[in-house]
Amino acid sequence: MSSNYPSSEDCSRMMREEMLPAVVVRHVCTVNIVAMTIAQRCGADLELVNAASLLHDIGRSRTHGVQHVTEGVRIAREHDLPEPLVLCISRHIASGFTSEEAKELGLPDGDYMPVTLEDKVVSFADNLVSDRSIKTTAQTVERMRSKGFELSAARMLVIGKELSELCGEDIDLLLEKDKVREIAHGRCDGFI
């Protein structure tokens, strides 16, 4: 049975077509490795997580501010990507934003909260990856709090707990045990 979601090769092609900067490409590659490690353990839709983790920052080809979410959704729709993938792209940022928070940030009307398991996996993995360095949950939460993002930090902890329970193991221990940091560092230098 074939998937409606773009393959890794299709995603790479889209990143090249959109001229996504190399630093962002390395970041999404690292997020992809983290997200796929979690997704495999918690029973998420692997094809959706693969595509969403590779394309979550496609909007950074046009802007690097919070509006990259809006641009990412626009690009995804231009490519006629399936709606669950478009929604995952729209819900990846900062452990989510309510419609009120989004309005304050100048985002279009909508709810940017991760809803599905796949949304949560991609959002959580993205938060763990700073540029291309994989942080622990505690380090990520501390970074959010130091920037004044207490709500994002609290949501991150809730999502992390949920994913850890679904995986049957603490996410930080899972990533350490599976040597995800070492794998990502070697694999993402020459990605696309």
CA dist 47 and 62 (Å) reads: 25
Domain membership of residue 95 (yes or no) is yes
CA dist 142 and 145 (Å) reads: 5
Domain membership of residue 192 (yes or no) is no
Q: Could you tell me the CATH number of the domain that includes residue 139?
A: 1.10.3210
Structural domain of 83: 8-187
Number of domains in the chain: 1
How many other CB atoms are found less than 10 A from the CB of residue 179? Answer: 10
Per-residue confidence (pLDDT) for residue 2, from 0 to 100: 45
Domain membership of residue 2 (yes or no) is no
Domain membership of residue 1 (yes or no) is no
- The pLDDT tens digits of the residues spanning 90-140 come to 999 888 888 888 788 888 888 789 999 999 999 999 999 988 789 999 999
Domain membership of residue 148 (yes or no) is yes
Domain membership of residue 149 (yes or no) is yes
pLDDT at 186 over 80: no
CA dist 85 and 136 (Å) reads: 26
Single pTM value for the model: 0.93
